[in-house]
């Protein structure tokens, strides 16, 4: 018999216990940096060095952290389910934990791409991108990140995937950023939805919801208990 499919939407909260700051919690990244200065195409045009440095620091940190038990819990689930992860995170902690099916909606920190041809994507060697580093066509490389104001190219695929879920799970996202936050609207009527997040959020619009108001580590343990055959 083929396995049932669990589609998991993750956000910054699943990596919080690995030591990576979230964006909108108190002390989060968007409290320390203005989105308009570091995470828009206009910012990159105005001051590419500042934007490159912002992502260099985040990339450097990524080499210093490890996946946590929530990432590993999703790997464990693969024994019993066809687990498809849709992540808003640009870290690679799902992959390093061992998850085999991971879709990155907002790009990947360890990758860079050409400013002349977005199809030219490279895995950066080490943490540091420099102003003056160029693609094979000679144009400046930029972080492979979906900035505010840029289209989220993976959304049609992610929406299609969400509509095939037998179970939909949301972990560690404030559901503030669209279109990612709207993916839950694509689940088929009657599909059970689990949400693991310790924060307050508006969830009254989500039908058949089981809310686990806990951090990702303990919350995913409960989820495993619930979903293990």
173 binds ligand APR (CB under 6 A): yes
Pick between residue 12 and residue 129 the one whose CB is nearest to ligand APR: 12
Q: Which of 12, 20, 183, 184 binds ligand APR (CB under 6 A)?
A: 12
User: CB count, 10 Å around CB of 18?
Assistant: 22
Q: Which of 18, 22, 162, 191 binds ligand APR (CB under 6 A)?
A: 22
Q: Which of 18, 88, 99, 191 binds ligand APR (CB under 6 A)?
A: 88
**String of b and e for 123-151 (b: at least 16 CB within 10 Å)?**
ebeebebeeeeebeeeebbbbbbbbeeee
Element (H, E) at 5: strand 5-10
**String of b and e for 41-79 (b: at least 16 CB within 10 Å)?**
eebbeeeeeebbbbbbebbebbeeeebbbbbbbbbbbbe
182 binds ligand APR (CB under 6 A): no
Task: Supply the minimum distance, in Å, between the C-beta of residue 147 and ligand APR.
Answer: 8
Identify whether 71 is a catalytic site residue: no
Contacts with ligand APR in 188-217 (CB under 6 A)?
A: 197-199, 201, 215-216
Q: How many residues bind ligand APR (CB under 6 A)?
A: 23
Pick between residue 50 and residue 117 the one whose CB is nearest to ligand APR: 50
Q: Where does the chain have alpha helices with state H?
A: 13-16, 29-32, 35-38, 41-46, 48-62, 69-77, 93-97, 155-162, 216-227
Pick between residue 24 and residue 96 the one whose CB is nearest to ligand APR: 24
Applying CB under 6 A, which residues contact ligand APR?
Answer: 11-13, 16-17, 22-25, 28, 88, 106, 172-174, 176-177, 197-199, 201, 215-216
């Amino acid at each position: 018999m083929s396995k049932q499919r669990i589609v998991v939407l993750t956000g910054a909260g699943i990596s919080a216990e690995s030591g990576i700051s979230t964006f909108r919690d108190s002390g989060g990244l968007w409290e320390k940096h203005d989105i308009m200065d570091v995470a828009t195409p206009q910012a990159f045009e105005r001051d590419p060095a500042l934007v490159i440095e912002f992502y260099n620091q985040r990339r450097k940190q990524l080499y210093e952290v490890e996946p946590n038990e929530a990432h590993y819990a999703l790997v464990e689930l693969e024994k019993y389910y066809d687990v498809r992860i849709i992540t808003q995170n640009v870290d690679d902690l799902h992959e390093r934990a061992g998850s085999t099916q991971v879709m990155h909606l907002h790009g990947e920190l360890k990758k860079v791409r050409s400013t002349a041809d977005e199809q030219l994507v490279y895995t950066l060697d080490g943490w540091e991108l420099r102003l003056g580093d160029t693609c094979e066509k000679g144009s400046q490389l930029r972080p492979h990140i979906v900035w505010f104001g840029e289209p989220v190219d993976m959304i049609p695929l992610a929406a299609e995937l969400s509509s095939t879920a037998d179970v939909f799970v949301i972990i560690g996202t404030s559901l503030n950023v669209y279109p990612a936050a709207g993916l839950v609207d694509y689940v088929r009527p009657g599909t059970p939805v689990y949400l693991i997040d310790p924060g307050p959020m508006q969830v009254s619009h989500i039908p058949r919801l089981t809310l686990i108001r806990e951090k990702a580590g303990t919350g995913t343990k409960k989820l495993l208990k619930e979903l293990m055959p």
